[in-house]
Amino acid sequence: MTNTKKPSFLLALLPIFVLIVFLALNINIWGDDSLGGPNQLALIIATAVAGGVAAFLGIPFEKMEKSIVKNIGDAMPSILILLLIGALSGTWMISGVVPMLIVYGLEILNPNIFLFATVIITAVIAVSIGSSWSTIATIGVALLGIGTALGFSPAMVSGAIISGAYFGDKLSPLSDTTNLAPAMAGTDLFTHIKYMLFTTTPTLIITLIVFLILGFNHNAASDPSEIEALKSAIESRFVITPWLLLVPGILILVIVKKLSPLVSLFIGALVATIAAVVLQSEVIIDTYQQITSGGLVDTQTPYYVQAYVVTATSWFGSSSILTENSSVNSLLSTGGMEGMLHTIWLIIIAMAFSGVMESAGLLVRIASAIISKAKSTGSLVASTVATSIFMNITASEQYISVVVPGRMFADVYRKRKLKPELLSRSLEDGGTVTSVLVPWNTCGAVNSTVLGVSTMAYLPYAIFNLVSPLMSILVAYLDFKIRRYSDEEYDELMGIENAQIDSGV
């Protein structure tokens, strides 16, 4: 058996230090384009350094390899969902669903309250379906188009979309992380949701106030003729009809019915494909001509062949609908599954990095050092939040940021007579909402790709996600509504646990 050594705190930090240095260098050189390869290389270098540290500690390569494979396997559902989101974005564009939502949005939403309304709309949908990813990939993409047409920066609109979507995801009983956090902490779902309101409600209020101020102070497009020109350009290319609302309606229905996300997204893309063939024949014919003959009219190929080529391309490749308005053209372009490949590459390498770090015990070593410094309730919650954020940065996966700290801190909270809903809330405030702020985390990588806006660009505007961990720590330090076991409750709890241990449960 190979003798292994325990890592020191500084040695455990070495791969992370290397990663931060190269990521900072990449952002300085490539800026928003760093997702196209430089960040992946930074993760490869950091993984190699972590592997060297692991080898120095006596960790066999086979153990590292198994950990890498396991982590990539755990991320595979996210990768498959990402591919289907690419297909969904392409089919929703070619079918006219996104253009329809943009046109209706331009007619309804006032520029001054647009950002405020965006947070509310995405929050309501995310609560209903329990998925921030699906919310952002569907109505979020449409809202981004509307906001861009109104003159808002894509980064600002993306921040509003993400803020609302993650609020809804965090409080939805249908959300996977909202179910996972109480399971890790040892409380029930609805106690967890109710207790989160003490930090989530003030955070949402702050978020709405900030976006209301930004909306009234931002010089968005106010020329009615410009907005009418955008709407006319879209309507000249697509059949805009309320019937297209059936497509997002069916997707929301199947998600609420708790079908698998993969099945739900596939159905959403399939229904949109049918809508494109039935309603958007002119778009299909024109797009087919662009794909196959450089715009030359093709009167020989049957329509069903043209429809197959165009809709299939919208699933797997880039699609662009051309109009006479250049501003609209940028809104009507998607990358399909092909557009997700850089993100998938990033996720795979991030999982390899976290796999090597886990195999050598480096992540646990760093987290345990944080726990040892937590003396008061406020500092314990701050340590939990910090550990969850740390896991989002290093393990690159939202679920790990909930599961690992949940396991690590459960006993500490219990020994300090703190009820488990405090831990579950801290896991969500620190882990769930900050995952989208890390460029190489699965959440940050996916949503930045879907929205076409880099993580670092929208990060300053993701107000809800930035304020949530701070609010959680503030409330804990103020000792506001901190739930503790009474002496009787604690004695009963310890009695039950001891009885379970004695009986071998």
- If one compares 81 and 207, the residue with the highest pLDDT of the two is 207
- The pLDDT tens digits for 394-440 are 877 787 788 778 877 887 888 888 999 999 999 999 999 999 999 88
pLDDT of res. 379:
92
- State the burial class of residue 218 (Cβ atoms within 10 Å of its Cβ: 0-12, 13-18, 19+): middle
Residues 64 and 210 in one domain: no
Does residue 263 lie in a domain region?
yes
Residues 109 and 95 in one domain: yes
Does residue 275 lie in a domain region?
yes
Structure tokens at 63: 């153990």
- Taking residues 292-311, what's their average pLDDT? 79
Structure tokens at 42: 């930074």
Residues 196 and 300 in one domain: yes
What domain range is 13 assigned to? 9-75+341-492
Residue type, 227: I
Q: Where are the alpha helices (DSSP H) in 260-397?
A: 261-279, 281-293, 303-316, 326-331, 341-359, 362-372, 377-394
pLDDT of res. 101:
82
Does residue 502 lie in a domain region?
no
- The pLDDT tens digits for 40-49 are 898 899 999 9
- The pLDDT tens digits for 220-249 are 555 566 677 778 888 888 999 999 989 988
pLDDT of res. 476:
94
pLDDT of res. 294:
61
Residues 185 and 131 in one domain: yes
- If one compares 447 and 343, the residue with the highest pLDDT of the two is 447
Counting the structural domains of the chain, the total is: 2
Q: Considering 321, 339, 357, which residue would you say is the last residue of a domain?
A: 339
- The pLDDT tens digits for 22-70 are 877 887 788 767 767 888 898 899 999 999 999 999 999 999 999 999 8
- Taking residues 370-375, what's their average pLDDT? 77
- Buried/exposed code over 414-446 (b: 16+ C-beta within 10 A; e: otherwise): beeebbbbbbbbbbbbbbbbbbbbbbbbbbbbb
Does residue 124 lie in a domain region?
yes
- Taking residues 185-211, what's their average pLDDT? 92
The answer to whether residue 499 scores a pLDDT higher than 60 is: no
For the chain, give me the number of helices (H) and strands (E)?
A: 25, 2
Residues 125 and 39 in one domain: no
Does residue 2 lie in a domain region?
no
The count of residues in the chain is 505
Residues 374 and 233 in one domain: no
Residues 294 and 356 in one domain: no
Residues 242 and 351 in one domain: no
Residues 346 and 291 in one domain: no
Does residue 139 lie in a domain region?
yes
Residues 210 and 317 in one domain: yes
Q: Considering 339, 370, 394, which residue would you say is the last residue of a domain?
A: 339
- If one compares 367 and 54, the residue with the highest pLDDT of the two is 54
Highest mean pLDDT among 90-94, 202-206, 365-369: 202-206
Of 338, 330, 333, the closest CA to residue 312 belongs to 338
Does residue 178 lie in a domain region?
yes
The DSSP annotation for 158-222 comes to: HHHHHHHHHHHHHH-TT-HHHHHHHHHHT--HHHHHHHHHHHHHHHHHHHHHHHHHHHHHS----
Residues 215/113, Cβ–Cβ less than 8 Å: yes
- If one compares 362 and 490, the residue with the highest pLDDT of the two is 362
pLDDT of res. 222:
52
Residues 68 and 81 in one domain: no
Q: Considering 339, 370, 398, which residue would you say is the last residue of a domain?
A: 339
Confidence of residue 1 (pLDDT cuts 50, 70, 90): very low
pLDDT of res. 82:
76
- The pLDDT tens digits for 457-495 are 999 999 999 999 999 999 999 999 898 888 888 778 776
Residues 297 and 388 in one domain: no
Does residue 172 lie in a domain region?
yes
